[in-house]
Each structure stands twice: as structure tokens, then as C-alpha cells.
Amino acid sequence: MAEAAGNDPTAESVIRKLVDVTQAKAPFLLRKVRTLVLQHAKYRETIMGLIPQLERQIELEREGKMVLQPDTRMFPASKQFRKAFDEVFAHVHRRVFINLADRSLVARALTEVFVDFLVRWGEEFTQLEPHHRTFLEELCDRTCAQLNGDAPESFVPKEESDEPLPNVRRLRLPDDIFKNVWMEVNEFYLTGKRHAELERDLHKPVIPVMVALS
């Protein structure tokens, strides 16, 4: 409880009261309330981690060392990808979940899998084919091996497990992962674009300027 409240006595008191009232008035909602409390605790943790970065960015902007430009780029993945993502997410999540030693890394692993998939197929992707599913499974296995500290070439994935899986739809995990993938892929393309522009500038011919002397 204290961890969910961020060790804030006031927040902890509110959470305890919320849980107690739910237990007394609507106990059938208790599991949902606990899930939402933990979800918002994660949001708070993320936000608190971003604050130092935001303060640093504000400082750089104030000093004129960083000038922000509007980003008008489109999402590099094809429109069909969201449909395919929804179709395969449960299978990809299951394979990652049962093969990952540290379950706290599930979201990170899923993001890496789908980012790597888009980097490979990008705008070529039009619809989900059998070879795409095979590639996704290979990415799952490679990512799990790396996060488990195992050599990918010797990693033997589990195909079946009796362990119950979390309800990803209830936790809105697919939406969260898709947003993560969107940001990661855009950053990847932006970085690639910057490198291409730098490379182009480095190879521009130098035009001599003749200065007339009076």
C-alpha cells in the first residue's frame, strides 16, 4: 500500500479509505479498484521520473540551447498494422509472459518485439501473413533470451504453460504498448533522418567564394 502511494502518508490514507469503502459497499469491485490503484501508481512513478528531464529541457530552452521544431511526420507504420497488432497481441503477450523470467519486464519486451517488427517490415506491411507470425515468435524468443541473460542461439522457448495469464484487455495493456511502439518507432525514424541529413551535409561540395579586393 505504501509503495502504491509513493510513500506519501496522505495518498496512502486515501487509498486505504478507498479500499475500505469498496470492501464495505461493493466488494465485487475490490479487484478492479486495486488494479486501478496500481495502474495509477505506475503512472505516477513514470511522471515523477520525467520531471527531472522536463526541468532540464526547460532550462535548455530558456538558455537558447534547444530550439523545438514542430514535428509533422506521419506514423511510419502502415494503417493495416493496428489491425494486425490487435490480432496477434494476445499470442505475442502469451509467448513473452511464459518465457520471461522477470515479469516486470513484460511491457519492455513487448515494446521491443513490435518495434523490431516494424523496423524490419515498415511500410512494406499490408496484411498479416504466416511468415510475419513466425518472425514475431522469433523476436519474442530472442528478446526473452536477452532479457533473461541467456544466449539467443541456445534459448529453448516454452510453448505451453498452465500458469494463468493476466487479463491484458482489462489492464488496457495493448493500448499502452501500442503507444510505446508508436513513440519508439518515430524516434527511430527521426534519428535515422537526422543521421541522413548530417551525412548529406558532410558530403556537400565546398564552393569557393571569390572576394574582390578593392
| Tens digits of residue pLDDT in 73-96 | 545 555 678 889 999 999 999 999
Query: Is 106 within a domain?
Result: yes
Please tell me whether residues 177 and 98 are part of one structural domain.
Answer: yes
- Are residue 99 and residue 145 in the same domain, yes or no? yes
Our count of domains for the chain comes to 2
Identify the CA nearest to 67 among candidates 57, 76, 77: 57
Q: Are residues 56 and 84 in the same domain?
A: no
Q: Are residues 105 and 141 in the same domain?
A: yes
The Cα 120–Cα 132 span in angstroms is: 10
For residue 5, the model assigns a pLDDT of: 53
What is the pLDDT averaged over residues 42-70?
A: 81
pLDDT tens string 102-159 = 989 999 999 999 998 988 887 677 888 899 999 999 999 999 999 999 888 888 888 8
Residues 125 and 54 in one domain: no
Q: Are residues 110 and 182 in the same domain?
A: yes
Q: Is residue 55 part of a domain?
A: yes
Where residue 62 falls among pLDDT bands split at 50, 70, 90?
A: confident
Residue 75 covered by a domain: no
Considering the domain architecture, whether residues 51 and 136 belong to the same structural domain is answered as: no
pLDDT of residue 114: 93
111 and 48 share one domain? no
Domain match, 92 and 193 both: yes
User: Do residue 51 and residue 85 come from a single domain?
Assistant: no
Instruction: Tell me, yes or no, whether 212 lies in a domain.
Output: no
pLDDT band at 205 (very low <50, low <70, confident <90, very high): very low
**Does residue 98 sit within a domain?**
yes
CA distance 51 to 67: 19
41 is in which domain, residue-wise?
Answer: 9-62
Same domain (yes/no): 46, 149 = no
Q: Which residues contact 42 (CB under 8 A, 6 or more apart)?
A: none
